[in-house]
Amino acid sequence: MNDRRVVVVIDMDEEVRSSLQATLGEGGFEVHCAATGESGVALVRAMQPDTVTLDLVLPDTDGYDVLRRIREFSHTYILIITARRDLRATLKGFDAGADDYMVKPIRPRELRARVDGMLRRPRQLTVPPIVTPREPPLVSPRLQTATTEKPAQDPALAQGLTAVHGLATAEGRAPDRGYECSYKHKGLELDCVTRAATLGGRTLQLTRTEFDLLHILLERGSGVVTKAELVGLLGLVRREPGNPEVGVAGTRDPGRIIETHVGNLRRKLGDDARKPRWLKTVRGSGYTLA
């Protein structure tokens, strides 16, 4: 994780800004605040923060518009903080490029946990690459031979990680360590080191969650990834004392959030769910490469 942890808070309410600044400041963050959408976008561009907290109600513009504008030049994590509780607003936020969603009033410990949780999602996924026996791996041979990671020495550890993720490790690499990887599939290219995704030479403007989702599907190859797996691998579930698992947005159907992210990814790829070229829905199961 980068030692310089910067957060930009965009909220029209001075009391809320002060509260968020104090809460995140206590968590070791460098916090910068903006009271309007215009000043918030400018601040994000200038500070290049790790995380942005964004209210949907702003005095000069719509919060969703601010979110989309930020996404035009930044892949920072964006956490929506709003008083709106309906699922439609939540899904619209994810559709515009948000990574997480919280409803006011904000509990300080939960806020810090949410932000820390987002930042723990690595720039390159630590899920081991999947090699499907019936088809060649999608990892670029050039980068595959350049990999210098040593195999895990503890068979019990490797077995435990396989059980947790429901995935097979490749070349015995422990999934808590980074590795270089590159994928190509029907003109789609993804580089996990630079976190760049291109299609036919055109750069795709993906959110971090969309990039990670695409990475998982490319790793799995022709295998199916279930919604439950994606929810866990993307960190889209939180646990609350005395309550069942709920999605990051508070909905008890986190699979619906996966559907939204897949829909966003399809739109950016120019893919058609009815005649998919890249992402195929396996009814009643999950998703796979087309």
pLDDT of residue 182: 85
Q: How many helices (H) and strands (E) does the chain have?
A: 10, 14
Q: What is the mean pLDDT of the chain?
A: 75
Higher pLDDT, 90 or 47: 47
Q: Give the pLDDT confidence of 104-150 residue by residue, as tens digits.
A: 888 888 898 888 888 876 544 333 333 333 333 333 333 333 333 33
Those residues whose C-beta lies under 8 Å from the C-beta of residue 26, and which sit 6 or more positions away, are 108, 112
Using the structure block, give the residue that is written with the tokens 């299609």: 199
Number of Cβ atoms within 10 Å of the Cβ of 65: 13
pLDDT of residue 129: 37
Nearest to residue 75, comparing CAs of 210, 182, 245?
A: 210
Taking the complete model, does pTM exceed 0.75, yes or no?
A: no
| Averaged pLDDT, 156-163 | 37
At residue 192 the predicted structure's pLDDT band, cuts being 50, 70 and 90, is: confident
Residues 124, 195 contacting (CB under 8 angstroms): yes
Amino acid present at 77 = Y
User: Cα separation of 120 and 98, whole Å?
Assistant: 16
| Gap between the terminal Cα atoms of the chain | 34
Domain 141-289, classified CATH 3.40.309.10, yes or no: no
Nearest to residue 78, comparing CAs of 217, 251, 207?
A: 207
- What are the start and end residues of each CATH 1.10.10.10 domain in the chain? 141-289
289: its two tokens:
């490469």
Using the structure block, give the residue that is written with the tokens 């790829």: 269
Q: Give the pLDDT confidence of 51-92 residue by residue, as tens digits.
A: 999 999 899 988 999 999 998 888 899 999 988 777 788 888
| Averaged pLDDT, 4-24 | 91
Nearest to residue 53, comparing CAs of 2, 15, 98, 88?
A: 98
Those residues whose C-beta lies under 8 Å from the C-beta of residue 57, and which sit 6 or more positions away, are 12, 63, 82, 83
Sheet holding 286-289, edge to edge: 225-226, 286-289, 279-282
Q: Give the pLDDT confidence of 199-220 residue by residue, as tens digits.
A: 998 999 888 888 888 988 988 8
Those residues whose C-beta lies under 8 Å from the C-beta of residue 11, and which sit 6 or more positions away, are 17, 20, 33, 35, 53, 54, 55, 81
Q: Is 251 exposed, middle or buried (0-12, 13-18, 19+ CB in 10 A)?
A: middle
- What are the start and end residues of each CATH 3.40.50.2300 domain in the chain? 6-120
User: Cα separation of 225 and 218, whole Å?
Assistant: 10
| Averaged pLDDT, 176-180 | 39
Higher pLDDT, 127 or 271: 271
- Residue 287: in which H helix or E strand, if any? strand 286-289
pLDDT of residue 233: 79
Amino acid present at 169 = T
Q: Give the pLDDT confidence of 223-262 residue by residue, as tens digits.
A: 888 888 888 778 765 444 444 444 444 444 567 788 888 9
| Averaged pLDDT, 31-41 | 94
Higher pLDDT, 30 or 123: 30
Task: Tell me the C-alpha to C-alpha distance, in Å, between residue 66 and each of 81, 104, 115.
Answer: 13, 19, 20
Which CATH class name applies to 6-120?
alpha beta
With H, G, I as helix, E, B as strand and everything else as coil, classify residue 20. helix
pLDDT of residue 177: 32
pLDDT of residue 287: 92
